[in-house]
Amino acid sequence: MQLKCVAIDDEPLALQIIEKYVAEYPSLTLVNTFEDAISGGEYLKRNKVDVLFIDINMPDITGIDLVKSLDDKPMIIFTTAYKNYAYEGYELEAVDYLLKPINNIRFGTAVQKAIGYYQYKHTDTSGEGDFLYVHSEYRLIKINIKDIEYIESMQDYIKIHMLGVAKPVLTLMPLKGVIEKLPASKFIRIHRSFVVARDQIRSIHNRKVKLTEIELPVGTNYTDFIKDWHK
């Protein structure tokens, strides 16, 4: 696996640092760098790359606007000195968001996310993988499927509740979308708003499913659910 990378930043020193860090990863190839967003954008519209390291606050056009203009978006890793752009990065489903000055450890974390996500997207797991990726809190999050207790739908969002983790992961995704990524043998939909891990069900009584510390309602398809549960 070889991922083609491009870096765009109006600060030459920032480009030198990215070039140095990228060289430490055999699976990455930095095919080009640009000090202005317009030239970089024209290159990206003509050439397919896998990863884009891009500054946000640039004089000619912002990194946010450049990414929005791309029809075929690579994996995006934003690099910036300003925290207040994080929400825009979230909307564009960036792999990561690096604050300057970037150290090599934090850079490495972002690269591993990109590599993992690339492998995930290019492997046909047919819903039987060991993990899934979602965007949450401005970054790409890797979730081990075995750690999921249940998933709760909240209109356009879902909450992924995990074992031993007090705070659920909130992500912009319909429940149907995440169901397609889960192994059917390990999860069951009990309600229009809830999907639960089969091995976390402790009991079923009075149209409710008892998990370790919570009870969830079963929907109107209670009979079908019981049949499915006893398969």
Alpha carbon distance 62, 28 (integer Å): 25
pLDDT at site 130? 85
The whole-number average pLDDT for the span 93-121 is 90
pLDDT bucket at 197, cuts 50 / 70 / 90: very high
* Residue closest to 53 by CA, chosen among 105, 13, 7: 7
Polymer length in residues for the chain: 231
Tell me the DSSP string of 201-226.
--EEETTEEE-SS-EEE--S-HHHHH
pLDDT in tens, 94-105: 898 898 999 999
Q: Which residues contact 57 (CB under 8 A, 6 or more apart)?
A: 63, 80, 81, 82, 85
pLDDT in tens, 135-170: 887 678 889 999 999 999 998 899 999 998 889 999
pLDDT bucket at 84, cuts 50 / 70 / 90: low
3-class DSSP assignment, residue 13: helix
Confidence (pTM): 0.73
Q: E-strand spans in the chain?
A: 3-8, 28-34, 51-55, 75-80, 96-99, 131-136, 139-144, 148-154, 157-162, 169-172, 187-191, 194-197, 203-205, 208-210, 215-217
pLDDT at site 83? 67
pLDDT bucket at 80, cuts 50 / 70 / 90: confident
* Residue closest to 169 by CA, chosen among 192, 147, 202: 147
3-class DSSP assignment, residue 51: strand
The whole-number average pLDDT for the span 10-24 is 95
Q: Is the pLDDT of residue 124 over 60?
A: no
Name the more confident of 79 and 7.
7
